[in-house]
Amino acid sequence: MAAGKFITLEGIDGAGKSTHISYVAGLLQGRGKTVVTSREPGGTGLGEKLRDILLHEKMHVETEALLMFAARREHLAQVIEPALARGDWVISDRFSDASFAYQGGGRKMARAKLETLEQWVHPHLQPDLTLLFDVPLEVARARLDATREQDKFEMEKTDFFAATKAEYLRRAAQFPERFRIIDSTRPISAVHKELDEIISRL
């Protein structure tokens, strides 16, 4: 059986990553791949319940991180690992890089604690490809303000998103073999062209 691959899409709120998930899935399906799309927090029945709590309830940053990784462990056990074992390709809207960016960068949680959780929850699994959608902070804010009712993360101040974005870029520099940074201020057609090229190389 051909091995499946694990692709994650990351970026601050308003970066536009969710817009492109179905397009990436379509590219892979067009190449004959069986594709599973999912999201974090969420992806399972339990994960979706935790998502609602995480996006709307105030809590200590370590509680927030622990719940994120609890939802992730269930996501791995119920969705990601079985799909990869079948040879499917998995696309997830966020994964552990988001915890480093939001709880670590934005909320200032100690990186060492997040690294411990990462090693506990998925010691032998990292994405094969992480697409990091990047936009200036003012563009992300304008997009958020023009859309739906916002959750607690989307309502954070500019300095929170600046720190979140900085941590995403630090992660990309730390793991250049799997990260691809996408300038998503461009027209969707230009972003799609770049995604075509990246997926073709993968």
Per the model's pLDDT, the better-predicted residue between 13 and 95 turns out to be 95
- pLDDT single digits (tens) 164-191: 999 999 999 999 999 999 999 999 999 9
Give the residue from 165, 80, 158 showing the smallest Cα distance to 125: 80
**Out of 22-36, 43-57, 132-146, least confident range:** 132-146
Tokens of 29: 């399906």
The torsion angles phi and psi of 107, rounded to 5 degrees, stand at -95, -5
Predicted local confidence at residue 33, as pLDDT: 96
Inter-helix orientation angle 158-174/137-145, to 10°: 120
Q: What is the mean pLDDT of residues 138-156?
A: 72
- pLDDT single digits (tens) 64-118: 999 999 999 999 999 999 999 999 999 999 999 999 999 999 999 999 999 999 9
Positive or negative: CA dihedral 89, 92, 96, 100: positive
Q: How far apart are CA 169 and CA 66, in angstroms?
A: 23
The residue with tokens 């399906």 is 29
Query: What average pLDDT is seen over the chain?
Result: 93
Full-model pTM: 0.93
Is pLDDT at 1 greater than 60 in this prediction? no
Please tell me what DSSP assigns to residue 3. P
Query: In the β-sheet with 89-93, what is the strand arrangement from edge to edge?
Result: 35-39, 89-93, 6-10, 129-134, 179-183
Share of the chain above pLDDT 70, in %: 95
How would residue 148 be classed by pLDDT, with cut points 50, 70 and 90? Answer: low
